[in-house]
Structure 1
Amino acid sequence: MLSGLQRRLTVMLLVPLALLAVGNAWFAWRSADDVALQQDRRLEALLPLLANSVIGQGSGAEESLVLMMAPGVQEFLKERPGPATFAITDVDGMLLAGDAWLAALPPADTQLEFHNEAYEGVTWRIVRQRQQTVVGELVVALADGSDPHRQWARSILLKVLLPNLVLIAAAAVAVGLAVERALRPLLALRDAVERRSPRDLSALDESKSPEEVRPLVRSLNRLFGLFDAQAESQRRFIADAAHQLRTPLAALQAQVEAWAQAAAHAGPGGRVELPAEQVHKLRGATRRTSQLANQLLALSRADARAMHAQPLQRVDLKSLCEDILGAHLDAASARRIDLGLEAAPVQVMGHDWLLRELLSNLVDNAVKYTPEGGTVTLRCGRRDGQAFLEVEDDGPGVPHAERGRVLERFYRVQGTAGEGNGLGLAIAQEIARVHHSQLELGPGAGGRGLRACLLLSL
């Protein structure tokens, strides 16, 4: 991954440099067209001067022209860095002065004629025109061998492309080293994560990472924290479950062993009749084991750190209270407890099954610990701009000093009558944390009993 990122960064940095070099060369080549145009204009300006350089015509067997070169023509022919030459012919194409290879067919009219011609390895720019001179109409021609495009091509190669190629090569090395150095923190981060054992979920050192990578490090630390919290919760859950299941399972095993011993003493065809007390103990041990297993499962599922990522849905608290009332009505009636409901319509955003578990645990605790003939009331509605769920009983209540501890797992107030595992209120408190709230415990009406209340955002 890092190799691909390094390669992409290098290419992204070098491609603009290469494009700039090519663009620079292209603009330089385009500037050669301007130089060629200036060359044509100079040749055009020199033609009249060449024609005016003819001051007479010799006599004798071979006629020749008498020339007195104008300074501009003389400078063009002798002082230029590149080759230059001329030719003067009559209208029939006979050479009168200059180089013979320039003596070509004369122009048909007085218009300028420009063309390129290769001669002796040189590309010449040639201009011809009919001009009036002191000896009559002649054809004058000038040739410039300093090809601007070729000169500019050489100049571009030596002064533009070659330096740019060297610059790009040097930049490639420098950029490669810079990118590699810039990516070292990522490599170090990768190595730090790879060297860790599955049990090491401590936070990474954010200060050792560059500013651009710190959001990634913070996200990793947050993920490590969630995993660590979940792993710790699971370890604690397993330890608690193993500890708490030991007692009811031991009791259940003892009852089964007693039953097995009685069956062994009765012989192969004997009939074993268990005393009613032993059957009652066996049934109680089985119920306690089943209830504890269900509560441990509910506690594990209600872990606040594991539920934050779950989506919320709209929950009707009044309908929820009615369902819980119906589910516990038989247990309350068996103990002659008046189980009532005071509910106003209200809806909140939450987890329906968790709120159902919370309310069920609160009602189960209230029915279990309230003396026979007592009262348990479920309430829901609005209070001070918030929704609330409330269960109130007139049982023995919880001393003020113990109210914080009864929300801990497996804690029971000493001297409490009845069977229990100390998980009901702990489960309710865990569910309250999932809903960004907490369970509030206080005395019931008249200072008697216990009132458990949960406030929820609307």
Structure 2
Amino acid sequence: MNAGAGPAPSVSRRLLGLLLLPLALLLGIGVFIDYRTGSASIRAAYDRALHEMALAVAAHLHDADSDGRIDADLPPQAVAVLRADSVDAIYFVVRAADGHVISGDGDLLPAADAQHEFSDGLFRGETIRLVTHATRIGHTEVTITIAETTRKRAAAIRNILATIVLTDIVQLGGTLLLVWIGVRYGVRPLRALGEQIAQRSARDLAPLDRAQVPSEVRPLVHTLNALFETVRDNARAQQQFLADAAHQLRTPLSGIIAQLDLLARESGDNALAARLRALHEGTQRLAHTANQLLALARSERSATTHDDFHVVDLEALATDAVAQYLDRSLLARIDLGAETAPARTVGSAWLLRELLGNLVDNALTYTPPGGRVTVRSGVDGAVRFIEVEDDGPGIPLAERGRVRERFRRLPGSPGNGCGLGLAIVDEIAHAHEATFSIEDGAGGRGTRVRVEFR
């Protein structure tokens, strides 16, 4: 993994990020439109009230003597009712056509540039909204002007703006929540696909199920399945090549070893016999190294697939290993035995047989004559295990990590090994996702190698 790489991008976050800006823009546009519409309705309502006041004042005007002199029948109580308002101040004036003030606030004038019946202005230091209503009383033209400060209007517009913004924000939050829920539900098949891949082991190359995969992701799944098939075919080809190579190497090498052994025995020349025996030992080392290298290559996880893994009887493997090496242990005067209990795991039978063979081979190689080697299998809680214990010289604690390395041998080690035995065991254990440990034997003597399967 790249150390400088940031967190993996999220489809959910990306979709929410792409939707947030357009939704916020729509929110702003909606607030603006609602504000303009709401404020226009409020102004229209207040303007109608002003106009009704002007009509009410006009109803109290009359020309009693028909002489053109207009009388305003506005008693103080009527004027008080007209001006009654707990928030705004209300002013009015009634003028004749010649500008004569008939009644009201004489300093109230319509806006000089007013082109309409309603206009805005400034009166006594405050912003006002006024209406100018022209009418005829008898044969006389009069103008009625009603003005009102704009405190109620401003407060109402602020309230409607706050209500609109709050409502739209709640709607935006609800929309984003629904989008988030929808996105999470929509990407659930992707999460299921990711979990399906994550739960697989490195050797499981079976095709992914496309039944529940969305159509947008099916090309990706198809590509992955094609890749799995290619890797699976390569692993099988590698297995076949290694099997063929092992057969092609073992057969001629075995023949050469047998012929050299026969020549050394039949040779009457001691010098020639010594050379033939040296050549025989060298060829045996070559055959052993070739076999170990092939076993190491076959044990790598890239060379195994899920098809190679089945239920394996560990007890049977332990018993077979003891039987296979019994003759060698008798010749070396080593007590080789088994302490087994029923145990099963999922794995590759031939790989586990190779693993156990290398452990027994190592134990017999390092255990002196008269020693003891024990092969065990069983179940310890939820763990199935196989182990090989000997009472040989043991492996120093500082070397237990190094002996897992390829071509690593302890100084002064007996035999003609190539240092691949425990490396093969480690590789096979990793292929089975098992734990491989090296510990002291009973009483602190020798070595106990244990492989645990979960």
Structure-1-length-normalised TM-score = 0.43
Q: Which has the larger radius of gyration?
A: 1
